[in-house]
Structure 1
Amino acid sequence: MTQELVSTKAVITPQEMLDHWQGHRKLTRRVIEAFPEKDLFNFSVAGMRPFSELALEMISMGMPGIDGILTGKWSTDFSFYENGKGPQTKAELLALWDELTEKLNRLWPQIPIERFHEVDLAFGRWEGTIQFTLFYFVDNEIHHRGQGYVYLRALGIEPPPFWDRA
């Protein structure tokens, strides 16, 4: 049995989606800030990557990702952070984080509403609707932020409340 769409009203608006994502980004930024400088780049548990590398993964998806979402042209060049080319200090990492925050806020309003339901091949690898790709970006961030919480607790540091995304 199929169900027909009764209403064209959205469950969540594009602005609400951006606010949701940016709320997660604010919380992840506070996690980055909570790390001592050396531990941000060097501490890990059970062979997992240091949190700086996890944060760079999030940035590396978001920076070219917003361009791909907007234009349909997906860069596969991640050399800006690979092979030790990324930020070397917490301040540099946070500056890059903030640069992405500004870029998302600037470009987001330019995304046509119908684009969110279009199927695209993100980064030349992952096929799905744009909204699926956005959910993946947020899910990936939540996953890695959880690793950051484990790292902070292992370091004896109380992480920021997970529910506070303001």
Structure 2
Amino acid sequence: MNATAQAPQIITKENLLRHWQGHRGLTRRVIEAFPEKEFFEFSIGGMRTFAQLTSELLAIASPALKGIVERDEKPYIENADNGTTKADYLRKWDEATEEINKYWSLLDVADFSEKFNLFGQYEFPIIDNIFYFIDNEIHHRGQGYVYLRALNIEPPFFWER
């Protein structure tokens, strides 16, 4: 292989978005599975409630992607005003999903390799920031699965994205 040959593309921009949105859909179903009270109050070992974890996810995904597209390094702000009911959180989740789709459409494939200082703190290639959004959501969703199991609630199948 000569030094100028490029490896074939493994995943398209559209497939990466579908993968991410598949995870988001699964996380939405985890939110739905929680009883109202436990969504806001249940935790194990002093860990955050799933409502608090969801607030973090809402503060990252859409605002961070918007920051990337607009090259705006605004600091991370966890918005605690996501409502007072699970339905409020689900509404915010759906709004964020639409915003992600909007900003994703403005992202060029060439941007993925560019470095961006996310929230003015995390300077990595944009693709790595996007992987972080997905990985962080999976991590927190796993905690939600543990909570649901502790509540004797069957969580959604993780492979149904």
Normalised TM-score (structure 2): 0.94
Q: Tell me whether 108-117 or 38-47 shows the greater mean CA deviation.
A: 108-117
Cα shift at 1:86: 2.9
The residue aligned with 2:39 is 40
The residue aligned with 2:155 is 159
Q: Report the Cα distance in structure 2 between the residues aligned to 1:143 and 1:5, rounded to whole angstroms.
A: 38
The residue aligned with 1:86 is 82
Q: Report the Cα distance in structure 2 between the residues aligned to 1:26 and 1:100, rounded to whole angstroms.
A: 12
How many residues align? The count is 160
Q: Report the Cα distance in structure 1 between the residues aligned to 2:68 and 2:11, rounded to whole angstroms.
A: 18
The residue aligned with 1:125 is 121
Structure 1 segments (4+ residues) deviating >4 Å: none
The residue aligned with 2:62 is 63
The residue aligned with 1:73 is 72
Q: Report the Cα distance in structure 2 between the residues aligned to 1:22 and 1:163, rounded to whole angstroms.
A: 13
Q: What does the per-residue CA deviation read over 1:102-145, in whole Å, with 9 as the maximum and x for residues that have no partner? A: 11112211112111110011000111000000000000000000
The residue aligned with 1:51 is 50
Is 1:113 paired with 2:109? yes
Give yes or no for contact 1:117–1:129 (8 Å, CA) kept in 2: yes
Q: Aligned-pair RMSD on alpha carbons? A: 1.5
Q: Report the Cα distance in structure 1 between the residues aligned to 2:30 and 2:114, rounded to whole angstroms.
A: 33
- Opposite residue 158 of structure 2, the aligned amino acid is F
Give yes or no for contact 1:37–1:89 (8 Å, CA) kept in 2: yes
Q: Report the Cα distance in structure 2 between the residues aligned to 1:5 and 1:33, rounded to whole angstroms.
A: 50
Cα shift at 1:4: 4.3
Identity %: 48
Give yes or no for contact 2:82–2:92 (8 Å, CA) kept in 1: no
- Opposite residue 120 of structure 1, the aligned amino acid is F
